[in-house]
Amino acid sequence: MSKIDSEISKIKFTCKDVRVAYSGKEALHGINMAIDDRGVTAFIGPSGCGKSSFLRVFNRMNDTIAGCTVTGEVYMDGQDIYAPSLDPVLLRARVGMVFQKPNPFPKSIYDNVAYGPRIHGLASNKAELDHIVEKSLQRAGLWEEVKDRLKDSGTGLSGGQQQRLVIARAIAVSPEVILMDEPASALDPIATARLEELIEELSQKYCIVIVTHSMAQAARISQRTAFFHMGDLVEYGLTTNIFTNPADPRTQDYITGRTG
């Protein structure tokens, strides 16, 4: 994607002075950032710098952590997602999340994928639900492997299959955004390659934000990269620029492997 393309692409999220604190201890110190609507934005940075904390800002999952407070403003399509009138439950249906460790429910493969559509009433009959499940599994690249055993438990799949299952589960509710927190950390190189293909494909339709510890992965799949360091956003820009010509010495040190 060229620079021009990304500039004309719409903005999905705008963050103004976002701070995240755990029991009063600040983990993110005022982040200002805009995230593109289409394509992949990667968050990189040393462990503990606040990538996951920041990712959870976008679907308000920090709300579920006792003692965690978020201040500042976050707009999604111009709408304040921390407004008191906004129900985080509805927000999370629009902003999906894939966790570091695949966490399929101890239910059948079918029921895992159908979980979201069922609670949100997205299908009016069994045939529609079947269709959603099939389509989601296909998009996640898992359909061929599981179509004959949809009744089997989701927890019985391999790690890579589980990760694709939870991705299918996330896209089954047709979110606008998919947040991924180190989705490849439990996968072997082959499964990782498949996952990256999948991410690239999904990025045509979704806004994808991904946390990764792999520089190579960020370089391969993302259009924009944000580098975090000790709770600050140090540098943010086109991935090609960040990796070839970082402006900040901390970024330089990190991507060349001198820190973190």
Cα angle 154, 160, 161 (rounded to 5 degrees) comes to 35
In whole angstroms, give the CA distance from residue 240 to residue 35.
16
Given ligand ATP, Mg ion, another protein, none, residue 49, with its beta carbon under 5 to 8 Å by kind, binds ligand ATP
User: Does the footprint of another protein cover residue 20 (CB under 8 A)?
Assistant: no
In whole angstroms, give the CA distance from residue 160 to residue 245.
34
Q: Count the residues of the shown chain that bind another protein, applying the rule CB under 8 A.
A: 28
Considering only residues 121-180, where is the footprint of ligand ATP by CB under 6 A?
A: none
Q: Which residues of 58-89 are buried (b: 16+ CB within 10 A; e: fewer)?
A: bbbbbbeeeebebebebbbeeeebbeeeeebe
Phi/psi of residue 207, each to 5°?
Answer: -90, 120
User: Does the footprint of ligand ATP cover residue 101 (CB under 6 A)?
Assistant: no
Residue position matching structure tokens 């944000």? 226
Considering only residues 108-127, where is the footprint of another protein by CB under 8 A?
A: 115-116, 119-120
Q: Which of 2, 8, 47, 125 binds ligand ATP (CB under 6 A)?
A: 47
Give the distance from CA 226 to its chain's centroid.
14
CB of 78 to ligand ATP, least distance (A): 26
User: Does the footprint of ligand ATP cover residue 53 (CB under 6 A)?
Assistant: yes
Closest-approach residue to Mg ion (CB)? 52
User: Does the footprint of another protein cover residue 243 (CB under 8 A)?
Assistant: no
Q: Which of 31, 45, 52, 108 binds Mg ion (CB under 5 A)?
A: 52
Closest Cα partner for 196 from 33, 31, 8, 40? 40
Q: Which is nearer to Mg ion, 52 or 108 (CB)?
A: 52
DSSP-H helix ranges across the chain: 3-8, 51-55, 88-94, 109-119, 126-139, 143-146, 159-171, 189-202, 215-221, 239-244, 249-255
Q: Which of 39, 50, 117, 183 binds ligand ATP (CB under 6 A)?
A: 50
Q: Which is nearer to Mg ion, 110 or 254 (CB)?
A: 254
In whole angstroms, give the CA distance from residue 20 to residue 9.
28
Chain residues that interact with ligand ATP, rule: CB under 6 A: 22, 27, 45, 47-53, 65
Chain residues that interact with another protein, rule: CB under 8 A: 59, 61, 64, 66, 89-94, 96-97, 99, 101, 103-107, 115-116, 119-120, 155, 166, 169-170, 173
Chain residues that interact with Mg ion, rule: CB under 5 A: 52
